[in-house]
Amino acid sequence: MRKRTLNRLQNLALMVLFITAVVQLSQIPLLSGDWANRFQAFLTHSTDSSGGQTANLSSVLSAVHIVVTGDSEYGRYVQLYAPADGPLFQQAGPLFQEALGSATEVGATADKTLQEALDTPGIYMDLTTELPLAVVAAWLGEETSYDRPVRAMALTTEEESAVLYLCSGDGSIFRYYTALPSSAVIDLSGGYPPNNGFFAFESNYATLAPYTVLTTETISVPLIQASLPAGYSSYNLLTSLDFNAHTGYRYQESSGTEVVMESPRTLRLSPDGTVTYDGSREAASSLYQVTSSSGSPSAVEALQSGIKLAAALTESTGASPLYLRSITETDAGFQLIFGYRCTNLPVVFSDGEAALTVTITGRAITAFVYRCQAYTITEENSALLPAAMAMAIASLHPGCSLSLAYVDGGAGTLSAFWLET
């Protein structure tokens, strides 16, 4: 009995001394590592908070133009190509989210109504590309039952609650009442004093598309360097695209293009960085399947699969990230077009082709064409035409918009240009 008691005391002492030794070891900086942090976290029950669920979608959408109108008579505040992680979008985005979520459609409205409403304190967001409203809502973290294409959105304060306007690329404008209090929009707009920003319709360049966002501020953008990333290799691409990297069913064409066949799909890898895929609707790999909660995938579900594919292509090769330029519903499914972006400006190829074109048929990605490219920012600035001169030249072509972009002719140093679209 006494022996048993002594034995138990010894065991207890061993356990206590061992635990105290481990605790003390974890507190010594020299000896602590990740295990120590986890141990400390376990003892203090602290938890790590992770980022939001919408981060994935926001990173694939282009930077937007934001126009903030305050009480001042001296113009508006304009930020061209505002990134989604920038402070202005971080404030404006949630307001559009609340407005869209609580929107009640009033109906179609005229340009004059919108232009008068834009004189009240408010926020205007030009998406720079037309997208389905469902995709825009998902990007903002909201759902909507309305279905229409959206190029731009505006929140105005001519009523007690903010009024939402949705503008399509064809010029149609729809008006919505929302539950968002106007005071929220006024509070934001009061924090951004004018910086020589304006719309085309209220300027001497009224021949431009009326809601073209313009500024006379000096714009400075750096030169960028284009190159084929070092990670562009058949092994990296075959692995990331769920092909057998060691397959024997491959050959090389006279142009140097490597053709890999895994019936019924084919992958072509060109030495210039072009990757072409042809497959069937019966996709073996989950990378090419579109997850859908119903029979036919929605635009958002199609986009999610496109994003997954884009990430596989860029991460495996070290190419620059892609952003969505358009998503179009076809008879058989969807077509997604992605482009590159650098310093928040779009990069366009001189031949007009896209960086990635994805064809979705039914519930599978059945084809894509990808141009692999990497862009790095240099120390020098682009020799950009002054904004006023660009506006004057563009206004000679009625109805066009003005935008900034890098033009990629293949490789080398790229400069930014004003483009008429």
Residues found near other proteins in the complex (CB under 8 A):
3, 6-7, 10-11, 13-14, 17-18, 20-21, 24-25, 27-29, 41, 46-49, 52, 90-91, 93-94, 97-103, 142, 160, 178-181, 183-184
Helix and strand numbers (H, E) in the chain are: 10, 23
At how many degrees (to 10) do helices 133-140 and 299-317 cross?
A: 60
Least Cβ distance, residue 174 to other proteins (angstroms): 17
Least Cβ distance, residue 98 to other proteins (angstroms): 4
Least Cβ distance, residue 181 to other proteins (angstroms): 6
CB 388 within 8 A of CB 196: no
Please identify, using beta-carbon distances, which residue of 6 and 392 lies nearer to other proteins. Answer: 6
CB 217 within 8 A of CB 370: no
Least Cβ distance, residue 147 to other proteins (angstroms): 16
Please identify, using beta-carbon distances, which residue of 56 and 378 lies nearer to other proteins. Answer: 56
Tokens at 263, concatenated: 């019936």
Least Cβ distance, residue 406 to other proteins (angstroms): 29
Task: For residue 254, report the phi and psi dihedrals to the nearest 5 degrees.
Answer: -65, -25
Straight-line distance from the first to the last Cα atom of the chain, in angstroms, rounded to the nearest whole number: 94
Least Cβ distance, residue 160 to other proteins (angstroms): 8
Measured CA to CA in angstroms, residue 238 lies from 186, 233, 262, 267 at distances of 53, 8, 11, 8
CB 89 within 8 A of CB 67: no
Q: Where does 99-221 show beta strands of DSSP type E?
A: 104-109, 122-132, 149-156, 161-167, 173-181, 197-199, 213-215
Candidates 184, 183, 211, 185; CA nearest to 197 is 211
The label of the residue with tokens 């306007």 reads 165
Least Cβ distance, residue 24 to other proteins (angstroms): 4
Please identify, using beta-carbon distances, which residue of 11 and 376 lies nearer to other proteins. Answer: 11
